[in-house]
């Protein structure tokens, strides 16, 4: 499995600790240093069953600069959201864990992290 993290994020550190406690094998991707491509975002969103606005951190300063709060949340606006997430990875919710079985989860809670271990 792979986990997208920001090492300064407490939720990311908690997810890593839980994975370590459970003896899980995983690869760490510091997504701010190695941003996902738009294609990778599409794939992860498909695995999550979510839309780009569902994983956007709209409270970030860059989101406010872009005016994301006023962006549409319908299929016609999807590309705009994907482009913003790919260009500004700080906007991506974290941590995102992609499991080898094809599932994925936004691991903001211990329960969500554990769900990829079952």
Q: Tell me the catalytic residues.
A: 9
Opening angle at CA 55, ends 53 and 58, nearest 5: 65
Question: For the chain, what percentages of helix, strand and coil (3-state, to nearest 5) are there?
Answer: 50, 15, 35
CA distance 3 to 21: 15
CA distance 18 to 22: 6
Distances (CA, A) of 96 to 4, 5, 64, 70: 5, 7, 23, 25
């Amino acid at each position: 499995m792979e986990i997208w993290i920001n090492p300064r994020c407490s939720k990311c550190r908690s997810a890593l600790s839980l994975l370590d406690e459970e003896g899980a094998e995983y690869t760490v991707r510091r997504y701010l240093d190695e941003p996902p491509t738009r294609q990778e975002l599409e794939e992860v969103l498909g695995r999550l069953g979510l839309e780009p606005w569902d994983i956007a951190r709209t409270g970030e300063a860059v989101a406010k600069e872009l005016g994301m709060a006023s962006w549409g949340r319908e299929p016609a606006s999807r590309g705009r959201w994907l482009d913003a997430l790919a260009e500004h990875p700080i906007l991506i919710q974290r941590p995102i864990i992609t499991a080898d079985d094809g599932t994925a989860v936004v691991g903001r809670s211990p329960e969500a992290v554990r769900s990829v271990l079952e």
